Amino acid sequence: MRRSRLARLGLNLANLLVIGFFLLPIVTAAIGSLQSEKTLRADTRAVLPREWTLDNFRVFLSGGAQSAGSIYEQATYLPDNVKKIYYALGNSVVIAGSVTLLTLVFAALSAYAAVRLRLRWLAWLMELSVLARFVPIIVLMIPLYVTFRRLELLNSMWGVIIAEVGFLLPYGILILAPYFAALPQELDEAARIDGCTRFTAFVRITLPLATPALASFGAIVFIVSWNDLLIPLILNNRAEFMTVPVVVASLVGDVHVFFNLMMALCLLAMAPSVILVLLLQKFVVQGLAAGAVKG
């Protein structure tokens, strides 16, 4: 619909306002991370610092080897968790990667069975999946902690991976099932006449056709797992097993760490998922919309 010049000006201004709101925290973190504690303390009313520096990133990327004294006036120590940031990055990659792979495989198997095999208990499984999406994660944390403690899964990668897969599975089944249902069943049948079993037809015909849905959901799972705090926070408390968000959370209330370093860490924590979201925009939008609209 064509708009008058005045209306378009107004709409552009409204857009600027929205863009400003959504960029505010990102810009804040960027400016905060690019100055020293001294600069930040020296002038409490300036938006932009007089001097820019990359020292905050240098300090934690060198694992604290680089002296923090150069930029920290009052705080001279770096928490152990931050020194082990490379462990955390590695753990986050391994956990988010494994969770994505396992959730995709498990959810695809269940969704296909639910759609093509039409058994009553599978329909119940679908309804339970909708309900399961509502279980508050804080309710599960307490029994998960006690159970995983008994199974000796605390302070391990597997504990976190299993818990996150379980939490994301219902969501995956809900996204993939309608997608599989919309694929023409004739293709499966043709493959079976050519000698495929149901299972090989699923692997060779349905899965390749479902690549867009798998990519959408895969991207979302990776991001949710990468960003998740509660599960690794409660299950793992040793620095070697922490993920990046847990390290970030460990700085809350630490009087020795100043905002500059926190902002640098926050930027590091968001970088992989920001890149993923911007690269896979279309898939992310589709996946998010499908998860809520199609029951």
Partner 1 sequence: MGARRVRPGGELSPRALAAVMNLPSLVTLALVLAYPIYYAAYLSFHKVALAELRRGVFPFVGLDNYRRVFADPLFLLSLKNTFIFTVVSVGAEIVLAVTIALLINERSVPLSRMTRVLILLPYAVPPIANGLIWAFLYNFDFGFLNRILFGAGVITTPIDWVGNPQTALYVLTIPYIWRTLPFAILLVHAALQGINPELYEAASIDGATAWQRLRHVTLPLLRPIIVVILVLRTSFAFTVFEEVLAITQGGPGDATWVAAWYSYRRSFAPPFDIGVGAASAYVLAFAVGALAIAYVKMIYRRIE
Site string for partner 1, 247-276 (x = CB under 8 A): -xx-xxx-----x--xx-xx--xx--xx-x
Nearer to partner 1, 83 or 243 (CB): 243
User: Min. distance of Cβ 226 from partner 1 in angstroms?
Assistant: 7
Nearer to partner 1, 31 or 209 (CB): 31
Give residues with Cβ within 8 angstroms of 104, minimum separation 6: 172, 214, 217, 218, 221
Q: What are 210's two structure tokens?
A: 């479902």
Residue numbers 77-136 binding partner 1 by CB under 8 A: 105-107, 109-110, 112-113, 117, 119, 122, 125, 127, 130-136
Q: Is 217 in the site for partner 1 (CB under 8 A)?
A: no
Nearer to partner 1, 13 or 65 (CB): 13
Among positions 59, 99, 144, 160, the unique one binding partner 1 when judged by CB under 8 A: 144
Q: Is 289 in the site for partner 1 (CB under 8 A)?
A: yes
Residue numbers 45-84 binding partner 1 by CB under 8 A: 45-47
User: Min. distance of Cβ 235 from partner 1 in angstroms?
Assistant: 11
**Do residues 71 and 36 make contact, with C-beta atoms less than 8 angstroms apart?**
yes
Residue numbers 222-251 binding partner 1 by CB under 8 A: 223, 226-230, 234, 244-245, 248-249, 251
Return d(Cα 151, Cα 235) in angstroms, integer.
12
Return d(Cα 89, Cα 32) in angstroms, integer.
22
Q: Position of tokens 């093509």?
A: 116
Contact window for partner 1 (CB under 8 A) among 4-12, 73-81, 181-189, 209-217:
4-12
Return d(Cα 2, Cα 223) in angstroms, integer.
38
Contact window for partner 1 (CB under 8 A) among 62-70, 80-88, 181-189, 195-203:
195-203
Q: Is 25 in the site for partner 1 (CB under 8 A)?
A: yes
Count residues binding partner 1 (CB under 8 A): 104
Cα–Cα nearest to 180, from 203, 150, 164:
203
Site string for partner 1, 149-188 (x = CB under 8 A): x------------xx-xxx-xx--x---------------
User: Min. distance of Cβ 281 from partner 1 in angstroms?
Assistant: 6
Among positions 93, 101, 137, 181, the unique one binding partner 1 when judged by CB under 8 A: 137
Among positions 6, 21, 193, 208, the unique one binding partner 1 when judged by CB under 8 A: 21
Nearer to partner 1, 46 or 65 (CB): 46
